[in-house]
Amino acid sequence: MPISTSDDSSKLEFLKSIAPESSEAEVEHKIIVPLLQWLGYESGDWRSQVSFGNSKLDFLIYPEEFKLHCPPFLVIEVKAPDKPINQHGWQINRYMRKVGAMLGLLTNGSSFQLLCRYQDQRRHQDQIVVIANYSASELVENFRLFHNLLCRATCLKVCNVILNNQQRINQKFLIRVAEAFGNQSMLSLFEEQPELSSQSLQKESNLIQRRNKSMIITVFNNKGGVGKTTLTINLAASLARLGKRVLLIDIDAQANLSTGLGIDPLNDVELARKKDITHLLIDPRVKLEDVIYSKRWSHNDLQLDVIPSHIRLSRMENDLTQMVDSDRVLAKKLKNHSYDFVFIDPPPSFGKVNRISLMASNGILVPTQLSSYPIRALEYVLAQAQEVGNYKDDPLPILGVAISMYDQRSNSFNLSMLEKLKDILEKTDGGSQVNIFPEETWIPRLNIVSQCPEKGYPIQEAEFDDHLSSQEREAAQKAMERYDRLASHLIGSIQ
């Protein structure tokens, strides 16, 4: 059970669990393992006693999904409490260089030294610098900084940025190769390239963007209240924290997504003379950028771009139906967007705006609860997805079924519902290829998850709300980890 972060210092009580005469193994079990859990890591994210050469690394933190692409995030070297850590700096320095780890932690359980590796361009070599030295009590005082630097969410974010940049460089290189072969002039590959104009850079970045699997996803389930909007908001925030650029489109007249992100469609949009989704859909002159509202939360450097909705959308069905090529109105407006992920949050019923949403999308995410009615509704969801897919030039795959609001106390009930869900998918046309996201990504039913929309922020911001109790922050942390895993899983499933 992961130990959660909170400003209650008792959460780091385990730091007091060793004595001066304790062994190195005790520091590992009583301090390092709980510390890693507190940082949000799961046992599969790290390996201990990793051999290389004649040496053994105590801990290597390296989430599975990035093993082939990124250097390890963190190396931990552990000493017994009676050994002063300043005599062992050379060892962690050597390990960090050898395995290319980005960060290092050297500890004897009572002193903690944090190290960072960077490349010195002038000397063409890796430099390791000590960034902090803490006693156990100083670590408790600085726990937020320590947590933010070393936690799993930061690790995933950094690895994703590295991965994306690598992909971009590879693609850029391949474009150059292709151009060179196309021109029958391989030699130009090795010539100095002229400075790219901003226009051609834009063109190239659009091309790369498209090849980078930018996704427009409708979060779709015509069963009401299954957690679509809540899941959309928090999943988007997790993706943004992983370095993805995310746009959220509220195309539901209830405007729950807008208000859930602290945007009041009347006061913040209409009375402020700004535009919303209704203007984008109905007015050919209104462009995507005219209706985007950037929401920022400074605590964790989070930004989400949002197109808000308005209740008047509920009276526009007729107007929309009468427009020329009305089903493709949103698809056209999204043609040159530059986001990694666009999420569209439609209403539960299947009407005109759902069709418009699906026609603009290149993937569908289906949230469902593990209970009878929402599961039964999936037959209809799949049929609708297929029907709209037939009208589209590009495929419209179902990226997966995401489980929301499951009850953590009724394991056997959940398993029986899961079987039922699989059964229904098996029996439904096209359903057997639909992937149910794994249990580690399921979102539990937690009060804190339903409180956040009322406060107008995603769950990722709850950690910084001084009005919440430590239990509430603990629950928020737990939910956040699930959304982070769902985000990583979604990225993995579309690559």
Ligand X SMILES: Nc1ncnc2c1ncn2[C@@H]1O[C@H](COP(=O)(O)OP(=O)(O)OP(=O)(O)O)[C@@H](O)[C@H]1O
Residues that bind Mg ion (CB under 5 A): 228-229, 256
Residue 230 contacts ligand X per CB under 6 A:
yes
Q: How far apart are CA 289 and CA 333, in angstroms?
A: 10
Q: How far apart are CA 163 and CA 194, in angstroms?
A: 27
Q: Which does 115 bind (CB under 5 to 8 A by kind): Mg ion, ligand X, none?
A: none
Q: State the number of binding residues for ligand X (CB under 6 A).
A: 20
Contact assessment for residue 352 and residue 317, using Cβ atoms and an 8 Å cutoff: yes
Measured from the CB atom, the residue of 243 and 351 that comes closer to ligand X is 351
Q: Which does 34 bind (CB under 5 to 8 A by kind): Mg ion, ligand X, none?
A: none
Q: How far is the CB of 243 from ligand X (least distance, A)?
A: 25
Q: How far is the CB of 367 from ligand X (least distance, A)?
A: 7
Q: How far apart are CA 218 and CA 8, in angstroms?
A: 39
Measured from the CB atom, the residue of 62 and 220 that comes closer to ligand X is 220
Q: How far apart are CA 323 and CA 321, in angstroms?
A: 6
Residues comprising the chain, all counted: 495
Question: Which residues in 239-298 contact ligand X (CB under 6 A)?
Answer: 252, 254, 256
Q: Which does 230 bind (CB under 5 to 8 A by kind): ligand X, Mg ion, none?
A: ligand X
Q: Which does 446 bind (CB under 5 to 8 A by kind): ligand X, Mg ion, none?
A: ligand X
Residue 381 contacts ligand X per CB under 6 A:
no
Q: Which does 450 bind (CB under 5 to 8 A by kind): ligand X, Mg ion, none?
A: ligand X
Question: In 3D, which of 205, 24, 2, 216 has the Cα closest to residue 110?
Answer: 24
Measured from the CB atom, the residue of 215 and 231 that comes closer to ligand X is 231
Question: Which residues in 331-350 contact ligand X (CB under 6 A)?
Answer: 347-348
Q: Which does 226 bind (CB under 5 to 8 A by kind): Mg ion, ligand X, none?
A: ligand X
The span of 15-23, 28-36, 53-61, 223-231 binding ligand X (CB under 6 A) equals 223-231
Measured from the CB atom, the residue of 219 and 385 that comes closer to Mg ion is 219
Question: In 3D, which of 244, 229, 320 has the Cα closest to residue 280?
Answer: 320
| Structural element, H or E, at residue 49 | strand 46-52
The residue from 20, 44, 84, 225 that contacts ligand X (CB under 6 A) is 225
Residue 357 contacts ligand X per CB under 6 A:
no
Amino acid code (one letter) for 219: V
Tokens (6 digits) for 341: 């992920």
If you write DSSP's letter for every residue of 289-326 in order, what string do you get?
GGG-EEEEEGGGTEEEEEE---GGGGG-HHHHHHSTTG
Question: In 3D, which of 118, 134, 50 has the Cα closest to residue 85?
Answer: 134
Half-sphere exposure of 326 (CA within 13 A, CB side): 14
Q: How far apart are CA 161 and CA 167, in angstroms?
A: 10
| Structural element, H or E, at residue 148 | helix 143-150
Measured from the CB atom, the residue of 22 and 229 that comes closer to Mg ion is 229
Measured from the CB atom, the residue of 54 and 447 that comes closer to ligand X is 447
Q: How far is the CB of 453 from ligand X (least distance, A)?
A: 6
Residue 485 contacts ligand X per CB under 6 A:
no
Measured from the CB atom, the residue of 147 and 228 that comes closer to Mg ion is 228
Q: Which does 404 bind (CB under 5 to 8 A by kind): Mg ion, ligand X, none?
A: ligand X
Question: Which residues in 425-484 contact ligand X (CB under 6 A)?
Answer: 443, 445-446, 449-450, 453
Q: How far is the CB of 458 from ligand X (least distance, A)?
A: 12
Which backbone phi and psi does 96 adopt, to 5 degrees? Answer: -65, -40
Which are the contacts of 99, defined by CB distance < 8 A and separation ≥ 6? 52, 57, 60, 71, 72, 75
Q: How far apart are CA 180 and CA 383, in angstroms?
A: 46
The span of 16-24, 101-109, 218-226, 237-245 binding ligand X (CB under 6 A) equals 218-226
Place of tokens 């780091």: 12
Tokens (6 digits) for 316: 């526009």
**Closest chain position to Mg ion (CB):** 229
| Structural element, H or E, at residue 105 | strand 103-107
| Structural element, H or E, at residue 402 | strand 398-403
Interface map 391-430 toward ligand X (x if CB under 6 A): -------------xx-------------------------
Q: Which does 224 bind (CB under 5 to 8 A by kind): Mg ion, ligand X, none?
A: ligand X
Which backbone phi and psi does 52 adopt, to 5 degrees? Answer: -150, 130
Q: By the criterion CB under 6 A, which residues form the site for ligand X?
A: 224-230, 252, 254, 256, 347-348, 404-405, 443, 445-446, 449-450, 453
